[in-house]
């Protein structure tokens, strides 16, 4: 028969509709004001800690809707925002820096749906409220750090190659190597060509002097890495404070947009995102006089630092391990009860630390804490942002034995300082300092207003389309409306399964797909009416209407799909969100308008003789 689908095809279509409905349902449930707790130590939360949290809330007279333990994190749900805020303050005081306490909005999806992996779409900043940061990456600082590393590596390489030199130091925009005699120049150039291909030679007017600089290719790579590494680190830090589906993306050449939907504790988010903190481990220089260094006679291979108590100290210029080689960090206490941070290194860092401790047992090693602080000063009546690099020696301890991968850092002022340092190190060190150049907060009330207006535009547009199709195409219009409903359900289901973030442009994309889906049915129905006017039987007209309209529908949808893909590739932010929903909607409308509607038409007209169609 012309208008008859085989049994398997009907079953397949119905299964698709059933699965789509199942995964779209979670969006009908709301969200619960919640408090999320993440362990500050290396050990995740377990049931005894959950019971302790429950007892703490009960004692304070706070009733929770539910307390859930998932992947070592605790989520406490509440019935209202007032209880949520009270519980957050209470838990911050009672947990004593044992956990990161973050405010959140958790979907109230039933457990049986969550067991199937079904969850709602995330709502973007414009719908849910939250905070928007625009961060500027200090590329100049990243290049300066790379130059300092190159200087240290050059000194070490020249010593190992037994090349005699007077100094290796930064001068203006170049690295200046001053050699003892002309004979050393050739050996130095061979060494640079072999092991320092990232450096290029500059012209020098002085004798026995080589001028080097980072090549353009290397500077571009440093810039690319700084942006990429900072985005990864910021994403890790956001995950530490418990933000669901953050938006972190590059804007322009050296800026990063960070959007945190649902975040209410903006001060904590700003503190974590904007802080650049890391550690360096260096040997203490015990061979030279500290007082001479204070007077200005700093040895070539050393640097002058200040301890926490204000005393000067000389450290070796060579860095043993840096923060980017730390893979895990947790706060705790040492044997004397003092706050500490337990460090775990990656393979490269562990090898360096192991080699150094093997030959340095009995020697003192210092831990340098490095932080970039942003200060705003008023100069000539205008605000000027000033970034200051603060370096302080937080700990000096004698190496008692050989260690490599795991060890402990002490010398911190308080458990809170240890907790924050562990959090930052665990999330990763920023490859370059960042400045928060813009901050915007979107209130949840404004987000709700956007949702209401977006839904109103969708409902009005959808209702007008439904009424028109019913009035103009009668029963066939009803079929088109059913297909239209399932088109929206499939789009929402796919977005939910992908855990995509829905924004206002995304809603606009869904509304556009409604029109496109109806457009496909209009083409089919007009083709059927044309075949009826030519005197063809009803069954033949239905068959030819779908067959002849298919090429036109495919052509229009493919061209729209190409445009949507281009928008997704080259667009950013709102444009990309619009493109995602549009791509899904185009593919879904092809399925529902052609296959879904035809299945219903076949059920009604395909098994009996038909004299007249309700079209």
Comma-separated ranges of CATH 1.20.1640.10 domains in the chain: 7-26+443-605
Write down the pLDDT at residue 15: 92
* pLDDT tens-place string over residues 346-361: 887 888 888 888 888 8
Write down the pLDDT at residue 382: 66
pLDDT tier at 274, thresholds 50, 70, 90: low
pLDDT tier at 334, thresholds 50, 70, 90: confident
* pLDDT tens-place string over residues 71-87: 777 888 888 878 888 88
pTM of the model: 0.61
Q: Which residues contact 255 (CB under 8 A, 6 or more apart)?
A: 134, 135, 136, 137, 437
Pairing of strands 339-345, 326-333: antiparallel
Q: Give CA torsion, residues 54, 58, 59, 61, to 10 deg.
A: 150
* pLDDT tens-place string over residues 190-200: 888 888 888 88
Tally of CB atoms within 10 A around 572: 12
Pairing of strands 326-333, 321-322: unpaired
Give the Cα separation of 143 and 217 in Å (integer).
12
Comma-separated ranges of CATH 3.30.1360.200 domains in the chain: 277-440
Residue 244 in this model has a pLDDT that exceeds 60: no
Give the Cα separation of 232 and 247 in Å (integer).
12
Q: Which CATH number is 277-440 given?
A: 3.30.1360.200
DSSP 55-99: HHHHHTTPPPSEEEEETTEEEEE-SSHHHHHHHHHHHHHHTTTSE
Residues 126, 129, 135: CA angle, nearest 5 degrees: 80
Q: What is the mean pLDDT of the chain?
A: 81
Mean pLDDT within 492-510? 83
Mean pLDDT is lowest, of 217-226, 316-325, 439-448, for 439-448
Residue 267 in this model has a pLDDT that exceeds 80: no
Element (H, E) at 597: helix 597-605
Residue 420 in this model has a pLDDT that exceeds 80: no
Instruction: For the chain, give the number of residues.
Output: 615
Residue 12 in this model has a pLDDT that exceeds 80: yes
Highest mean predicted confidence (pLDDT) among 158-162, 172-176, 240-244, 310-314: 310-314
**Better pLDDT: 165 or 387:** 165
The fold for domain 31-108 equals: Alpha-Beta Plaits (3.30.70)
Helix axes 574-590, 444-497, angle to 10 degrees: 40
Write down the pLDDT at residue 19: 92
Highest mean predicted confidence (pLDDT) among 427-431, 456-460, 478-482: 478-482
Spell out a b/e string for 270-290, using b for 16 or more CB atoms within 10 Å of the CB, else e.
bebbbbbbbbbbbbbbeeeeb
Q: Tell me how far apart the terminal alpha carbons of the chain are, to the nearest angstrom.
A: 21
Residue 312 in this model has a pLDDT that exceeds 80: yes
Write down the pLDDT at residue 241: 58
- Percent of the chain clearing pLDDT 70 (strictly above): 88
**Better pLDDT: 1 or 217:** 217
Mean pLDDT within 288-295? 87
Residue 43: what are its φ and ψ, rounded to 5°?
A: -95, 130
Mean pLDDT within 46-55? 86
Write down the pLDDT at residue 380: 67
* pLDDT tens-place string over residues 522-568: 888 888 888 888 888 888 888 888 888 888 888 888 888 898 899 88
Comma-separated ranges of CATH 3.30.70.260 domains in the chain: 31-108
Assigned CATH class of 7-26+443-605: mainly alpha
Mean pLDDT within 472-493? 89
Range 140-217: architecture per CATH = 2-Layer Sandwich (3.30)
Q: Which residues contact 240 (CB under 8 A, 6 or more apart)?
A: 38, 100, 272, 423, 426, 427
Comma-separated ranges of CATH 3.30.1240 domains in the chain: 140-217
Please give the structure tokens belonging to residue 610.
């038909």
């Amino acid at each position: 028969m012309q208008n008859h689908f085989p049994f398997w095809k009907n079953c397949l279509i119905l299964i698709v509709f059933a699965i789509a409905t199942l995964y779209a349902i979670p969006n009908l449930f709301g969200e619960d004001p919640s408090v999320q707790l993440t362990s500050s130590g290396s050990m995740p939360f377990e049931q005894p800690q959950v019971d302790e949290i429950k007892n703490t809330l009960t004692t304070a007279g706070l009733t929770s809707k539910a307390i859930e333990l998932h992947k070592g994190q605790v989520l406490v749900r509440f019935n209202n925002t007032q209880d949520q805020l009270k519980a957050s303050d209470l838990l911050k005081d009672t947990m004593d820096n044992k956990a990161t306490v973050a405010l959140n909005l958790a979907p109230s999806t039933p457990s049986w749906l969550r067991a199937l992996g079904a969850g709602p779409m995330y709502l973007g900043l414009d719908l849910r409220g939250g905070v928007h940061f625009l961060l500027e990456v200090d590329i100049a600082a990243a290049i300066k750090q790379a130059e300092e590393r190159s200087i240290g590596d050059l000194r070490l390489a020249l010593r190992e190659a037994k090349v005699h030199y007077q100094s290796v130091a930064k001068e203006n925009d170049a690295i200046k190597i001053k050699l003892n005699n002309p004979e050393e120049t050739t050996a130095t150039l061979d060494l640079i060509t072999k092991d320092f291909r990232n450096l290029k030679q500059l012209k020098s007017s002085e004798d026995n002097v080589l001028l080097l600089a980072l090549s353009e290719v290397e500077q571009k790579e440093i810039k690319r890495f700084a942006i990429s590494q900072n985005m990864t680190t910021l994403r890790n830090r956001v995950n530490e404070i418990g933000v669901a589906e953050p938006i972190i993306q590059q804007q322009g050449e050296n800026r990063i947009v960070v959007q945190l939907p649902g975040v209410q504790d903006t001060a904590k988010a700003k503190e974590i995102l904007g802080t650049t903190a890391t550690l360096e481990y260096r040997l203490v220089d015990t061979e030279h006089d500290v007082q001479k260094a204070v007077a200005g006679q700093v040895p070539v291979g050393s640097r002058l630092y200040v301890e926490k108590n204000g005393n000067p100290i000389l450290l070796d210029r060579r860095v043993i391990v840096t923060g980017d080689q730390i893979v895990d960090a947790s706060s705790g206490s040492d044997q004397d009860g003092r706050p500490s941070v337990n460090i775990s290194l990656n393979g490269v860092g562990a090898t360096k630390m192991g080699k150094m401790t093997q030959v340095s047992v009995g020697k003192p090693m210092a831990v340098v804490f490095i932080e970039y602080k942003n200060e705003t000063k008023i100069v000539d009546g205008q605000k000027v942002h000033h970034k200051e690099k603060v370096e302080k020696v937080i700990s000096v301890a004698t190496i008692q034995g050989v260690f490599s991968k795991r060890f402990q850092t002490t010398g911190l002022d308080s458990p809170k300082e240890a907790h924050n340092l562990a959090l930052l190190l665990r999330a990763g060190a920023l490859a370059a300092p960042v400045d928060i150049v813009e901050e915007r907060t979107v209130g949840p009330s404004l987000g709700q207003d956007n949702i209401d207006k977006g839904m109103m535009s969708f409902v009005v547009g959808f209702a007008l389309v439904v009424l028109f199709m019913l009035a103009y195409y009668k029963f066939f219009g009803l079929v088109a409306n059913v297909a239209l409903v399932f088109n929206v359900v499939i789009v929402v289901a796919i977005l939910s399964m992908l855990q995509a973030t829905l924004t206002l442009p995304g809603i606009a994309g869904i509304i556009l797909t409604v029109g496109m889906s109806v457009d496909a049915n209009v083409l089919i129905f007009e083709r059927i009416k044309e075949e009826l006017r030519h005197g063809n039987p009803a069954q033949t007209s239905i068959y030819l209407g779908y067959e002849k309209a298919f090429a036109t529908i495919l052509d229009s949808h493919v061209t729209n799909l190409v445009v949507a893909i281009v928008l997704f590739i080259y667009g950013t932010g709102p444009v990309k969100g619009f493109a995602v929903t549009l791509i899904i909607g185009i593919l879904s409308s092809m399925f529902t308008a052609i296959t879904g509607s035809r299945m219903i038409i076949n059920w009604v007209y395909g098994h009996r003789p038909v004299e007249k169609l309700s079209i």
